[in-house]
Each structure stands twice: as C-alpha cells, then as structure tokens.
Amino acid sequence: SGALEIAIGALLDEGDALLVPRPGFSLYEVLAAAQGSAVQYYDLLPERGWEANMRHLEALVTPATRAILINNPSNPCGAVYSEAHLRALLAFAEAHRLPIIADEIYEGLVFEPHEFFPLARLTTNVPIITVGGIAKQFVVPGWRVGWLALHDPIGVMADVRDGFHRLSTLIVGANTIVQAAVPAVLTPEPRSAAEASLARDTAHYVGTLQDNARFCFDRLGAIPGLRPVEAQGAMYVMVGLDPSARLSGVPDGSAFCQLLMAEQAVFVLPGGCFGAPNFFRVVFAGPQDKLAEAFDRIEEFCRTRLPGAPIHLA
C-alpha cells in the first residue's frame, strides 16, 4: 500500500487522471483522490478471463491522462495475463506516451498452465513502475514490507525518481528485525537448507491455492444462479449472478451478500466494492473443508430463491 501511495503520488498532480481496472482494488481510487486526481475506469472482460477491453481503453484517454495501472495477477479477479495481452497493453501505453504502474504483488501465486510475465521484462520503450511485496507470496502481511522499482529504458523519469526518494522519507520503514529477515526470504543462500525449505513451502502453498481454485470453480459452477470466472492466480474468484435464474430478493451482488450473511452466516464481498455490482468475490485461501461447508450454505441459499421454490416460514 505504501509503495502504491508513493508511485501514484510521484506521478499525479491535482487534475490529472489515472487509468485503473474495473473490477479493481478500491485503494487505487483512494490514493488518486488524495492527490486531487481522478481515476478513469477501464473495463475488464469476464468472458476473456478478465483481459482489458482495449477499445474502451482507447476511448478513455484524454489530455489529463497521466498513467495506466495494471494489476497482474489481479485482485479481485484472479486473472493472470498472457504475454500477448501484456504486449498489447504495452503498445497502447507507448502509443499514448503513458508510464505504467504494474501492481505485481501476487506475482508468485500463479496456477498451471499459466505463466507470469513481469511487465518490465517485456519492453525497451515504456517506463514501468513495478510495485511488489512479500505479504501475499510469503504469507507475512503483518511485516508490512513492499517496494517499487523503476524501469526507465528511455530516460524520461528522472523527476519521478526524485519524487520517489522525497516521498519515501515520509514513510516509517519496517522494523529492523523484519529488514534483517527479508534478504533471507527473497534471496536464500543457493543450495542451502533454507532455500530447499522455502521452495517446499512455496510449492505446497501455491499447490493448495490451485487445488482450492479448481474446487471453488467446480463447486460454485454447479450452483443454480451463479457463474464463477475461473481463477488463474492469486487467491480470489469473482462469481457472477445469472439474471436468468431470477433469484428471489436478489437484485444485485450487494443484496446477495447481505442476505447470505444474515441467513447462512457466510461472508463474501460484494462486487460493487470493485466496480462490478452483479458479482461477488470469494477468497479461497482457507481450508477446503471450510470452503465446502460455505459452498453448501451458498447452494441452499440460492436454491430457496429459485422460482417455484417452497417458502419456509419461521
């Protein structure tokens, strides 16, 4: 979060605009607003695995547009972009002379057969500000360690680099214990026991998430009224509401989530939080038995709202 704040703060002035994805992480808008800047939402396409709508992007650009933010792998969608799509986004940015903020915090959480491509490795023409951290990949959110890295292949970001340095002095750094541990986490000694242990733990963690993602997609896809979009990475899946199911009392994702919590004690986040009102987000990082129980309750909730379902009086 701190790295995103610095990146957006150094790039945007009052009256500027930032292109951000929809659905997308709500913090982007908050940080832009703190600068007196606006956001321009570009649509992601669920039928294309949440790829960006390139036509919509082209239509949004104005003289106020200063940068585009790309989140890959993504929260809340769990999308992992192909090299071809990333190159299309790079071509767009180059054509409009826009730097890219690449939020790659979930870079280590990618499911087979998909592959993660760091944006900075794919271009020699577009400035890239990569934002990352250890909270998600290494499951240490309380450490509060993140970073930003500037890739400036054409040498046009000197003022922005200076802004990074100035703004970073306003943020208190991580404590010394955490700072001492980070190198061992990111660059363990080659062929050491620590390296082997970290590799095993990471493989188990990502494998568990991948199994849970498949279970989540299969189980939710079997529930009438729901249309999950299969996750390719991260730890989230977006689930659409099928309007043809005509679930009683459920006009949108917000109503669905409120009623589900009240009646079944299952909490999922309304898609409206991310700009997708007819969806809700599920986090599948928990144990699979707990996910199974939650999905059973979600199925009961949906089936009781189908047309013709019996009415149960309290």
CATH of the domain at 114: 3.40.640.10
- Contact between 130 and 120 under an 8 Å Cβ cutoff? The reply is yes
pLDDT at 12: 95
* 242 and 153 assigned to the same domain: no
* 112 and 217 assigned to the same domain: no
- The count of domains in the chain is 2
pLDDT at 308 over 90: no
* 91 and 206 assigned to the same domain: no
What element of type H or E holds 65? strand 65-71
pLDDT at 144: 85
* 75 and 9 assigned to the same domain: yes
* 270 and 212 assigned to the same domain: yes
- Contact between 281 and 268 under an 8 Å Cβ cutoff? The reply is yes
Residue at 88 is within a domain: yes
Tens of pLDDT along 158-209? 999 999 999 988 877 788 889 888 898 899 899 999 889 999 999 999 999 9
Residue at 96 is within a domain: yes
Q: How confident is the model at residue 313 (pLDDT cuts 50, 70, 90)?
A: very low
Residue at 147 is within a domain: yes
| Parent domain of 134 | 1-186
Final residue in a domain of this structure, among 124, 158, 186: 186
- Whose CA is closest to 108, among 135, 85, 127, 89? 135
* 287 and 157 assigned to the same domain: no
pLDDT at 314 over 50: no
Q: Which two tokens stand for residue 35?
A: 């600068």
Final residue in a domain of this structure, among 144, 160, 186: 186
User: Residue 223: is it exposed, middle or buried by C-beta count within 10 angstroms (0-12/13-18/19+)?
Assistant: buried
* 109 and 140 assigned to the same domain: yes
Question: pTM for the whole thing?
Answer: 0.93
- Whose CA is closest to 302, among 251, 215, 226? 226
Residue at 272 is within a domain: yes
pLDDT at 312: 54
pLDDT at 184: 87
Residue at 175 is within a domain: yes
What is the DSSP secondary structure assignment for residue 217, as one 8-state letter?
H
pLDDT at 297 over 50: yes
When pLDDT is averaged across residues 59-85 and rounded to a whole number, the result is: 98
Tens of pLDDT along 196-217? 999 999 999 999 999 999 999 9
* 181 and 206 assigned to the same domain: no
* 135 and 167 assigned to the same domain: yes
Residue at 309 is within a domain: no
pLDDT at 311 over 80: no
* 205 and 159 assigned to the same domain: no
* 157 and 17 assigned to the same domain: yes
CATH of the domain at 258: 3.90.1150.10
| Distance (Å, whole) CA 111 – CA 109 | 7
The single-letter code of the amino acid at 46 is P
Residue at 312 is within a domain: no
Tens of pLDDT along 232-272? 999 999 999 999 999 999 999 999 999 999 999 999 999 99
- Contact between 58 and 92 under an 8 Å Cβ cutoff? The reply is yes
* 15 and 123 assigned to the same domain: yes
Residue at 236 is within a domain: yes
Final residue in a domain of this structure, among 154, 186, 218: 186
